[in-house]
Amino acid sequence: MKICSLKLQDHLSNIVMVPVCLCVIKVSVPVSEVVGVEEGRVEILPHKSVEDTDKDFTVFYVKRCRSGGTYGLLWRLGRTQFSCPSRVLKDQWITNLRTSVKTHSPRRPNRLLVFINPFGGKKKGRKIYHSLVAPLFELAGISSHVIVTERANQARDHLLKKDLIGFDGVVCVGGDGMFSEILHGLIGRAQQEAGICENDPSVTLQPSSLHIGIIPAGSTDCVCYATVGVIDPVTSALHIVVGDSQPLDVCAVHQASAPLRYSVSLLGYGFYGDVLAESEKHRWMGPLRYDFSGTMVYLCNRSYAGIVQYIPADPVLSSPRDRTRCLSGCSVCSRRTSFVRLVCLFASPLTFPDEWVSVEGRFRCVSLTCMSCACPRSPLGLSPSAHLADGTGDLILVWDTNPLGFLKYLYRHTSAQDQFDLPFVEVHRVKAVQFLIFQCLFTVIHLQIYLFLNTFI
């Protein structure tokens, strides 16, 4: 057992814990990263145990560890026990520490609405939440209303219709599909409340005031990986507890004037769209369905004729091949001044003002990424230097090529080799895209939402 002395520094932004034993290891923890303070000698994870003693208390805080292979850090629950000379002093310490944590972390959530998809990924959502996440929320004094979904789109419908007053955020326990449901529910709700018509691609959409937290429990968990840098429920839960947040660009996709969907990660036409559509038919395979469907679609060797138009982003600010990695606090993203910005005001179909660049031909795939889309299968992602919240997306055009060439392109997603350094691949940083294929017109515009997420330290 580790017994320490403890000092709250003058400005109260850090607590310094000094072991009483002589081999001094000083631990300094920002008060904003204290998760909770409990009476007695307490363990929370993997199982809760409490030894109630009169003069002891335990401080829990965020501890960072290397994650081996991934670019983010794992967060773990650190704990240190303290012994006081008297019970009165112990009570004072506990009260003062809890007050300091409240004062220094005004953005921490108090009440959360949690949706668990019991069928996402390896079907472990319920277990992950109850064994790893709920104990941390309880320790941090966060109350949660938990809904285990019974059907697809239940979370979206709940967010569109039910009373959300009193909640500080919504937590998604599931994968990218579940996250997308919640995104659609919250954005739809925000437009309803603001009296905005989502059908109109020229309207400025409103962001939701509720943040979204993601506890990864899906098959790919790309949004979690590309923002936190690791797929780890404890890390994500601790980010939520301390009130971290990360703005994200959201694309609104319209077909003619009807809204199709919103996306924060990949919009894929051609190969990727086909893989996703095919994989839905083989959901029973679990995460393996993506490998299977990828192989099947690859063997079909399809390409699509179309016209792609885009508005290029300012090349002085950033480029998709500048080898940067967008992380929390990114200087490019922080240049954005407005919280919500409609990047493209779409005038009318098939009018091409000067701003639009137009290309026509046969494509293997046309993809728009609003973030790197990194995931464990593709550690750098489809567009490694894409930004999370700069109001742009990366348009990747893969022209029709021979099957071997296309395989080379796909293989490069899994390695550190430059996937854009191929003669049939183009990448452009864009503010808006139109894609015309078989007379269907897709238009993509942006707004931003905030996630509870991510500090990359």
Closer Cβ to ligand ATP, 176 or 394, answer by number:
176
Piece of the chain touching ligand ATP by CB under 6 A; list 218-226, 262-270, 300-308, 354-362? 218-226
Whether the Cβ atoms of residue 38 and residue 141 lie closer than 8 Å to each other: no
Q: Which of 221, 232, 390, 394 binds ligand ATP (CB under 6 A)?
A: 221
Q: Which is nearer to ligand ATP, 120 or 393 (CB)?
A: 120
To ligand ATP, the closest distance from the beta carbon of 210 in angstroms equals: 19
Question: What would the two tokens of residue 338 be?
Answer: 């407005």
What number of other Cβ atoms are within 10 A of residue 209's Cβ? 14
Tell me the closest approach of the beta carbon of residue 280 to ligand ATP, in angstroms: 9
State which of residues 152, 194, 350, 457 lies at the interface with ligand ATP (CB under 6 A): 152
The footprint of ligand ATP on residues 178-207 (CB under 6 A) is 178, 181
Of 117, 227, 265, 309, the residue at the interface with ligand ATP (CB under 6 A) is: 117
Is residue 39 within 8 Å of 52, Cβ to Cβ? yes
- When asked if residue 177 is in the footprint of ligand ATP (CB under 6 A), the reply is yes
Q: What is the DSSP string of 274-291?
A: HHHHHHHTTGGGGGGHHH
Say whether the peptide bond before residue 201 is cis (omega within 30 degrees of 0). no
Residue whose CB is nearest to ligand ATP in the complex, by number: 175
Part in contact with ligand ATP (CB under 6 A); list of ranges 81-89, 217-225, 262-270, 395-403: 217-225
**Looking at 33, 38, 168, 176, which residue binds ligand ATP (CB under 6 A)?**
176
* 183 versus 343: smaller Cβ distance to ligand ATP: 183
Distance CA 158, CA 185 (A): 8
Query: Judged by CB under 6 A, which stretch of 10-18, 177-185, 205-213, 408-416 contacts ligand ATP?
Result: 177-185
Contact between 278 and ligand ATP by CB under 6 A: the answer reads: no
Sole binder of ligand ATP in the list 218, 233, 391, 393 (CB under 6 A):
218
Pick from 220, 227, 372, 455: which binds ligand ATP (CB under 6 A)? 220
SS (H, E, C) 77-99: EEEEEEECCCHHHHHHHHHHHHH
Instruction: Determine, following the binding rule CB under 6 A, whether residue 219 of this chain makes contact with ligand ATP.
Output: yes
Is 56 a known active-site residue?
no
C-alpha torsion 102→105→108→110, nearest 10: 10
- Long-range contacts of 37-42, Cβ-Cβ distance < 8 Å, separation of 24 or more: 37/93, 37/94, 37/97, 37/98, 37/101, 38/139, 39/90, 39/94, 41/1, 41/81, 42/79
Write the burial class of residue 265 (CB in 10 Å: 0-12 exposed, 13-18 middle, 19+ buried).
Answer: buried
Kindly state whether residue 391 participates in binding ligand ATP, applying the rule CB under 6 A: no
Q: Could you give phi then psi for residue 81, rounded to 5 degrees?
A: -100, 145
Token pair, residue 222, equals: 């790309």
How far apart are alpha carbons 190 and 351 in whole angstroms?
30
Q: Determine if 120 is a binding residue for ligand ATP (CB under 6 A).
A: yes
Minimal distance, residue 228 CB to ligand ATP, in Å: 14
Cβ at position 275, least distance to ligand ATP in Å: 11
Phi first, then psi: what are they for 31, rounded to 5°? Answer: -60, -35
140 within 8 A of 98, measured Cβ to Cβ: no
The CA-atom distances, in angstroms, between 139 and each of 15, 60, 174, 346 are 19, 9, 22, 48
| Nearest one of 253, 250, 246 to 229, comparing CA atoms | 246
Least distance from ligand ATP to the Cβ atom of residue 120, Å = 3
Q: For ligand ATP, which is the closer residue by CB, 212 or 333?
A: 212
Interface of this chain with ligand ATP, residues 368 to 387, rule: CB under 6 A: none
| 56, 168, 176, 400: the active-site residue | 176
Q: Which residues are catalytic?
A: 176
* Residue ranges binding ligand ATP (CB under 6 A): 117-121, 149-153, 174-178, 181, 218-221
